[in-house]
Amino acid sequence: MRFLSFIIIFSTIIFFGSCNKEDLSPNTSDADFDVPIIIPKGDENYLTMDSDYVFDQNALHTFELKISESNLAFLDADPVAEEYVEGMLIFQGDTISPVGVRYKGSVGAFVGCLSGGNVFAPSGEKTCTKLSMKIQINWEGRDEKFFKQKKLQFHSMNLDPTQMHERLGYWLFRELGVPGPRSVHSRLLINDEYVGLFALTEQIDNRMIKYNFDDDDGNLYKEIWPLSMSGEPYSDQKYIDALKTNENDNPSIDLIKNFGEEIKNASSTDINAIVEQYMNIDEIISYAVVDRTIRHDDGPFHWYCGGNDCSNHNYYWYEEPSKSELHLIPWDLGNAFENINNNANPVTLIADDWGETSNNCEPFPFGSFGIEQWSASCDKLIKSWSTNTELYDQKKQLLINGSMSVASTDQILTDWQNQIKAATVEASDMHNDALSLVQWEAAIMNLKEQLEFARNN
């Protein structure tokens, strides 16, 4: 089972030169307003500064969106459609207009927030104050970036009462040397109304690749494994369809395809050597250690089953051309940490410990919902990783004695709590479905207990 993951323009006003929001903010009390085209001067901060400013862990930035009432109503009527409308993005006195705006997410992002009654097939109109949103900066062919970013992602954190899962999880991955997106908190206003606190999580695209790799021209794939459940590589078209970079450049998929073929044909004695040819073993074992320690049970090590097939999701692969190496990149950590000590999420819960298998590598139902899964280590590649027990143990000690030590996580959680407390209280005072201060502080205490359990188990 795979978790599945709107444009009304009436007239155009062209502005030459940079404008701030006071200069051009339309009358949003009207049912509709014209979305202006703003030509930047070229010396705006969002053009001259890099992405470290947006993803500064020591800052809580505020972003504003202006969307006509009809466009906003269009979005709210069917968030699952994930269709863009035009709007304006305002940040620290600069206005970027037009930009594309839509809601985003799969099943988990919409739980309890739509009028439809089936949580596994979300539908209907928006019923929550917050939903995750995506802002397309490179709208209608715009060349200019926003602090070197093409897209912004605001994640609602509606199912995370700690408001820390994404930020802490990605930070832990990156601290242990795993390439992953950056995530910080941000305040978001829509049409002058404070909507709430969001996780601003970096889009995994060629901009993210450029930030993390010197060799940034390689292929980026989303949610396709080198081997299918049957142990066979996928068709060429499947790999091409999964591309998130180079998709229009007649790219070669030979690296990931050949990797799959070699893994398929490898014996138990030579498979590890083959994996080392294609991957940085320190990096992938570090990935596994963080993933399993924080229980990212909705990631690549959870193979959901439906029909006659099982597959995983919430990850990317990047092919680094100069090294002919594949890098696994984590994604969607909203449900991480939940299952550390009490198996709280029956949907994402993984049955097996790292390296273990169940039911003779046949799919089996698990959890209170009886959702079928397949043991990750029945996959030859994951099984190979799991045999690196000594390196795994070394990386686990490095994690729990370093970035995930009590001193480290207590300090960083305290810093982030202080940074977002006022914004959390502000949302709670304004919206009856927002997280209360008491709920949030209790959830943080529970998170600290989960981290302590993870250190010792």
Residue 203 binned pLDDT confidence (cut-offs 50, 70, 90): very high
Task: Kindly report, residue by residue over 385-423, the tens digit of the pLDDT.
Answer: 999 999 999 999 999 999 999 999 999 999 999 999 999
> Is residue 27's pLDDT more than 80?
no
Residue 28 binned pLDDT confidence (cut-offs 50, 70, 90): very low
- For residue 9, the model assigns a pLDDT of 28
Percent of the chain with pLDDT over 70: 93
DSSP state of 243: B
In this prediction, residues 89-96 reach a mean pLDDT of: 98
Cis ω for the linkage preceding 98 (within 30 of 0): yes
Residue 18 in tokens: 């940079």
> Is residue 18's pLDDT more than 80?
no
Task: Kindly report, residue by residue over 279-338, the tens digit of the pLDDT.
Answer: 999 999 999 999 999 999 999 999 999 989 999 999 999 999 999 999 999 999 999 999
Between helix 281-293 and helix 165-175 the angle, nearest 10°, is 150
Q: What is the dihedral of CA 188, 194, 197, 202, to 10 degrees?
A: -10
Q: What is the dihedral of CA 194, 196, 199, 203, to 10 degrees?
A: -40
Residue 105 binned pLDDT confidence (cut-offs 50, 70, 90): confident
Task: Kindly report, residue by residue over 121-132, the tens digit of the pLDDT.
Answer: 899 999 999 999
Q: Is 367 exposed, middle or buried (0-12, 13-18, 19+ CB in 10 A)?
A: middle
Mean pLDDT of the chain: 93
The backbone torsions φ and ψ at residue 25, rounded to the nearest 5 degrees and listed phi first, read -55, 120
For 202-299, strand residue ranges (E) read 220-222
| Dihedral over Cα of 355, 360, 361, 362: its sign | negative
> Is residue 14's pLDDT more than 60?
no
CA distance 395 to 401: 10
Q: What is the dihedral of CA 196, 200, 204, 210, to 10 degrees?
A: 150
Task: Kindly report, residue by residue over 205-256, the tens digit of the pLDDT.
Answer: 999 999 999 999 999 999 999 999 999 999 999 999 999 999 999 999 999 9
Cβ atoms of 339 and 297 within 8 Å: the answer is yes
Tell which phi-psi region holds residue 296, choosing left (phi > 0), alpha (psi between -120 and 50) or beta.
beta
The backbone torsions φ and ψ at residue 164, rounded to the nearest 5 degrees and listed phi first, read -125, -10
Q: In whole angstroms, how large is the CA radius of gyration of the chain?
A: 22
> Is residue 189's pLDDT more than 70?
yes
Q: Is 145 exposed, middle or buried (0-12, 13-18, 19+ CB in 10 A)?
A: middle
SS3 94: strand
> Is residue 11's pLDDT more than 50?
no
- For residue 31, the model assigns a pLDDT of 57
Residue 129 in tokens: 């104050």
Percent of the chain with pLDDT over 90: 88
Place of tokens 């601003």: 200
Residue 2 binned pLDDT confidence (cut-offs 50, 70, 90): very low
Report the DSSP pairing between strands 364-366 and 94-103: unpaired
- For residue 30, the model assigns a pLDDT of 58
Task: Please state the pTM of the whole predicted model.
Answer: 0.92
- For residue 178, the model assigns a pLDDT of 99
